[in-house]
């Protein structure tokens, strides 16, 4: 499914033709015409070409985008297969720390059985534990802390090869 067009690409004080509106939001002009006829986008249709106010187009796209967003509870994870927020199967999830302040919550979807993930803050972990059982997995130390940089000192080896070349 393609991403929703961004309302930020539309200039508020500009009048768009159907073709210009389609180019501005990265859609086909027939899509914009369908928005005008069926979806409630407002335009001046008294003359040809139809003119769409930038303010109206931006508002229309903003409403569509807001309608598609889902606000999740802390203990819910969004399943891409079901396209719904879900509470983990068996109220059980695993937390793996990714950075010092955040980590990945991983669980199974109760509806389809697929793995669902959610990035959560470490500070929110106790609030999540109040609703579901969370086990904390040991983080990969390479991801959490930076190891000492490798020393690539080749000057000693070069000095030995130069001595052999000169003295035979």
The whole domain housing 107 covers: 77-144
Contact between 31 and 24 (Cβ < 8 Å): no
Helix-strand-coil percent breakdown of the chain, rounded to 5? 40, 25, 40
pLDDT at 166: 58
pLDDT at 30: 95
Residue 141 has pLDDT above 70, yes or no: no
pLDDT at 1: 43
Which has the closest alpha carbon to 58: 29, 33, 21?
21
Is residue 62 one of the residues assigned to a domain? Answer: yes
**86 and 138 co-located in one domain:** yes
Q: List alpha helices for 35-167, DSSP H.
A: 54-68, 125-129, 141-144, 155-167
Provide the number of structural domains found in the chain: 2
pLDDT in tens, 97-118: 888 888 888 888 888 888 888 8
Is residue 61 one of the residues assigned to a domain? Answer: yes
Is residue 150 one of the residues assigned to a domain? Answer: no
User: What mean pLDDT is reported for the chain?
Assistant: 82
Q: Which residue has the higher pLDDT, 6 or 41?
A: 41
Both tokens assigned to 58: 């931006």
**82 and 107 co-located in one domain:** yes
* Residue 15 belongs to domain with CATH number: 1.10.10
**54 and 108 co-located in one domain:** no
Residue 151 has pLDDT above 80, yes or no: no
pLDDT at 14: 92
């Amino acid at each position: 499914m393609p991403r929703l067009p961004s309302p930020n690409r539309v200039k508020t004080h500009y009048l768009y033709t159907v073709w210009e509106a389609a180019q501005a939001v990265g859609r086909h002009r027939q899509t914009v015409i369908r928005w005008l006829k069926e979806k409630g986008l407002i335009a001046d249709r008294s003359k040809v070409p139809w003119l769409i106010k930038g303010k109206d187009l931006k508002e229309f796209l903003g409403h569509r985008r807001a309608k598609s967003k889902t606000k999740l509870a802390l203990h819910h994870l969004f399943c891409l297969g079901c396209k719904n927020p879900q509470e983990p199967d068996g109220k059980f999830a695993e937390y793996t720390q990714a950075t010092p302040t955040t980590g990945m919550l991983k669980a199974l979807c109760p509806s389809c059985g697929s793995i669902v993930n959610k990035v959560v803050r470490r500070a929110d972990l106790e609030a999540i534990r109040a609703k579901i059982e969370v086990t904390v997995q040991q983080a990969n130390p390479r991801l959490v802390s930076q190891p000492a940089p490798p020393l690539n000192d080749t000057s000693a080896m070069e000095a030995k090869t130069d001595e052999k070349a000169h003295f035979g």
